[in-house]
Structure 1
Amino acid sequence: MESKAHILVFPFPAQGHINPILQFSKRLASKGLKITLITTTSISHSLHLQTPAGGAALQFESISDGLDGGDHSDNIHTHLDRFIATVSQNLAQLAVKLRPNAVVYDAIMPWCLDVARGLGLRAAAFFTQMCGVSMVYYHQYEGNLKVDGENCRFSMPAMPVMEIGDLPSLIPDGHLYPAFLRLMVDQFSNFREADWRLLNTFDKLEEEVLNWMASQWPIKTVGPTVPSMYLDKQLEDDKDYGVNLFQPSAEVCMKWLDTKEKASVVYASFGSLATVGESQMEELAWGLKNSDKNFLWIVRASEESKLPRNFISETSEKGLVVNWCPQLQVLSHHAVGCFMTHCGWNSTLEALSLGVPMVAMPVWTDQTTNAKYIVDVWHTGVRVKVNERGIITREETELRIKEVMEGERGNELRRNAVRWKELAKEAVRKGGSSDKNIEEFVAELVCT
């Protein structure tokens, strides 16, 4: 299909933001647009780029962010300010050179809209996180996030009542991470001025909050942003995101899973950034062992030293510990019956899209709110409880694994997970809600 418009696409330079925007870019490329996805120099050297579905219509460019090879000893506020100043200038220069028709930018970089407007370009804000999370930050920005009396509960339009532990952790802990809280909240500083607001979710997954949002501003849901071969299969050979910060141990993991019975394996992975203390690592390790289930546990090389002595050899009959794996292949494998997850939004969407129930172990940022929805709204998982020292004990870990893997409770969670899997497929297949929204977005780009 001949490209009719050229779009610059700019995700925030972190794996969890690159993946969904890259998947959306593939969808645009498949519908005839020429896409240039921008990375920044400080992260591009660590990315393992593969040729993604989309072929020649999807290309990569790298721009300097002022952070490569420089002094990183200053504080995060200075770091972000330098990033914004440098990238704004270099993004504008690249846009002048490539002459695109529009810019799709990560919503947590609202200053990209100013760059686009300065060049006379239309722009779309892409919200990578769950809409429920985005709306908490929106109400925080507007000053409308109020505590409900002595119960310390928070009520927001079209959302479940939340306790403080259900909010994105940056809000109660904002004094500890003011720069990160600013990053999240400021995405609502000018979002109404964007030409489009694109959301990484699908209509039936967050129906109530999406209806409320649509009553306030025009929005388009375009998710779930999971490779097409796991959903609608419209994009040939789209089996992976195409960008990895780590090299996965694919063959080892898949051969091991092939030897296991259906729904017999606990897959445990806590994302690319989470770090676990030594005491917590030990409790997780023995909780997995004591559950007496097969387990595939992803422990990054930098975390391996925290494992109990001889743990790997003592659990080799039932367990496999590797540094990284191809998560989509693992979650879609018939042997996987449960996903112990930190509840990052990409991992949550993958589990929902592939019909895998979850043991929710949120750590910070949006993960706590995602966990709230997993348990109380979508009913596809259980959430671990931490003790008075902030530790998830081995007994708690074992109990929650068995709750998901065994009995009628486990069967109910699995049925709900399969239902969301079918609804995710429905959204992205031809004529589905997200597919129609993407078609409309393309038509508006091309025809106006």
Structure 2
Amino acid sequence: MKESVMGKPHVLVIPFPTQGHVMPLMELSHSLIDCGFVVTFVNTDFNHRRIVESIRQNDCQDRRIRLVSIPDGMAPGDDRNDLAKLCDTMLSVMPCLLEELILKINHDSNDDDKITFVIADQSIGWALEVAEKMGIRRAAFWPAAGCLLALLFHIPKLIESGIISANGIPIENQMIKLSPEMPAMNTAHFVWLCIGDPATQLSIYNTILRNNKAVKHADYLLCNSFYELEPSVLTLVPNLKPLGPLLGSSRFAHLWPQDSTCLSWLDQQPPRSVIYIAFGSLTILDKRQFDELALGLELSGHRFLWVIRPDLTNGLATGYPDGFEARVADRGMMICWAPQKEVLAHPSVTCFLTHCGWNSTMEGLSMGVPFLCWPYFADQFLNKSYICDIWKVGLGFNPDENGIISKEEINKKVKQIVGDEEIRVRALKLKETAMNSVSEGGSSLKNFEDFVEAMKC
């Protein structure tokens, strides 16, 4: 298709409204803009305000993407970390609002600027249904491990095999593998069972079933992974097209303003001397566990950069252990949010203590940094299995009898990971593989180029 004749193709992109879902779709959107597309990016009103404020504070100059928003149906004071309530409320109000938005954009546009394609997060299958209803071509985007998507698509067989009930409850706790090359999965850690109370888990499970049905009507199925990372997944989900790694940048995707002063601090540290600690956007630590982590970092004697969101301790005052700040002042830095890709790429960083969210996993892999794994919920337990058991580029922690990861355990694993050259060599090899996948002739770049050409037809 010649753009001079037909105009630029116009794509509407809509993520599930959490940081880990917004970021990779924003990166994909900018890649499409670089290929000559017009992109309208739809956030919820709540996230839109946060992103606009983050853009203002970070002085982001890139204005090529069209940011718009619609309400999520939640009241201003509602807890948007209550994922079951968020999913149910979004389903009740957002489909009609999305349809109205598309109709308005197309009504106000000339023929060359109408929306001709929708890319929707697989976690909001209703957006794919809206696109189908309006006769618009569509792609589902999966922002997590391909292995997890294979598990979700496998639910009917899990029921048929007597592994789970029709409501998603394991008949018995056991370890299963979907294929020999994939991580062993604990049925008690299936993603829908790692979120909230039983009512929340059932709601999430039903949402998954609805999304599985909706995605069958997508024209394309994309994900943020790469063939070489999860080769067996493509046997189980043959129509899945990996485009990753889609790595976070400073462009429009952050719900918190980034503190870039940490990069200057890192410049002053010796090579491979700093532990980077970040738990993503949803992890909550209780005060006792927070204190143990602080004391464990102190006990290790290592330099560290620690990202501490304002809500990391669930709204409780994040007071440090007595005297902690003074004792670590010459070797520790604590900030609210970091430019993570740049931090992980910095030569002073020696390892990444992470919640094992998929974006963080992809960024750590792509920078060749060994992992210390501290999964919190959802898919993070599966990602930890990949990191520790399949790729062998990280270590996990062993909680005590009270479920607490002690300062002694933290100190022990820090020393172990820093001194393990075999893990570091494997991590650097995986970095090379990741970068090759998005370079000329790489598997993910070819998938992206094929997708771009298909969208222009």
Find 2:72's aligned residue among 65, 73, 77.
Answer: 65
Q: Equivalent residue for 1:420? A: 430
Q: Equivalent residue for 1:13? A: 17
Q: Equivalent residue for 1:126? A: 141
Q: Are 1:41 and 2:81 an aligned pair?
A: no
In structure 1, distance between residues paired with 2:212 and 2:432: 32
Q: Are 1:314 and 2:327 an aligned pair?
A: yes
Shift of 1:317: 2.0
The alignment partner of 1:46 has SS state of: helix
In structure 2, distance between residues paired with 1:275 and 1:332: 26
Letter aligned with residue 241 of structure 2? K
CA deviation map 1:126-155 (0-9, x unaligned): 001111122222223554475599882213
Percent identical among aligned pairs is 32
**Paired residues of 1:199 and 1:219 also in contact (CA < 8 A):** yes
Structure 2 CA distance for partners of 1:70 and 1:152, relative to 1, 3 Å:
closer
**Paired residues of 1:174 and 1:181 also in contact (CA < 8 A):** no
- Aligned positions of 1:176-255 closer than 5 A: 177-178=200-201, 179-214=203-238, 218-227=239-248, 239-251=249-261, 253-255=262-264
Find 1:403's aligned residue among 402, 416, 419.
Answer: 416
**Paired residues of 1:42 and 1:67 also in contact (CA < 8 A):** no
Q: Equivalent residue for 1:231? A: none
Find 1:139's aligned residue among 148, 154, 157.
Answer: 154
In structure 2, distance between residues paired with 1:422 and 1:365: 28
**Paired residues of 1:126 and 1:199 also in contact (CA < 8 A):** yes
Find 1:333's aligned residue among 334, 341, 346.
Answer: 346
- Aligned positions of 1:272-351 closer than 5 A: 272-302=281-311, 303=313, 305-351=318-364
The alignment partner of 1:305 has SS state of: coil
Shift of 1:168: 3.0
Shift of 1:334: 0.3
Shift of 1:188: 1.1
Shift of 1:389: 0.9
Shift of 1:40: 1.2
Find 1:93's aligned residue among 100, 103, 117.
Answer: 100
Find 1:80's aligned residue among 87, 102, 106.
Answer: 87
Which structure 2 segments of 5+ residues have no match?
106-113, 164-169
In structure 2, distance between residues paired with 1:257 and 1:165: 40
CA deviation map 1:330-384 (0-9, x unaligned): 1111000000001111111100011110000001101110000000111110011
Which structure 1 segments of 5+ residues have no match?
228-238
Output the TM-score relative to the length of structure 1. 0.88
Greater Cα offset, 301-310 or 316-325:
301-310
Structure 2 CA distance for partners of 1:76 and 1:298, relative to 1, 3 Å:
closer
Shift of 1:279: 1.1
Shift of 1:15: 1.1
In structure 2, distance between residues paired with 1:172 and 1:96: 36
Q: Equivalent residue for 1:430? A: 440
Letter aligned with residue 261 of structure 1? P
Letter aligned with residue 411 of structure 1? E
In structure 2, distance between residues paired with 1:160 and 1:78: 31
Q: Equivalent residue for 1:22? A: 26
Q: Equivalent residue for 2:167? A: none
**Paired residues of 1:5 and 1:101 also in contact (CA < 8 A):** yes
CA deviation map 1:280-309 (0-9, x unaligned): 111111111111111111122344624212
Q: Equivalent residue for 1:114? A: 129
Structure 2 CA distance for partners of 1:209 and 1:372, relative to 1, 3 Å:
same
Q: Equivalent residue for 2:186? A: 163
Q: Equivalent residue for 1:152? A: 174
Letter aligned with residue 213 of structure 1? V
**Paired residues of 1:166 and 1:372 also in contact (CA < 8 A):** no
In structure 1, distance between residues paired with 2:232 and 2:275: 32
Letter aligned with residue 26 of structure 1? H
In structure 2, distance between residues paired with 1:129 and 1:414: 24
Shift of 1:174: 6.7
Shift of 1:318: 2.0
**Paired residues of 2:62 and 2:251 also in contact (CA < 8 A):** no
The alignment partner of 1:207 has SS state of: coil
Structure 2 CA distance for partners of 1:352 and 1:78, relative to 1, 3 Å:
closer
Shift of 1:82: 3.2
Shift of 1:54: 7.2
In structure 2, distance between residues paired with 1:222 and 1:314: 45
The alignment partner of 1:36 has SS state of: strand
Structure 2 CA distance for partners of 1:83 and 1:372, relative to 1, 3 Å:
same
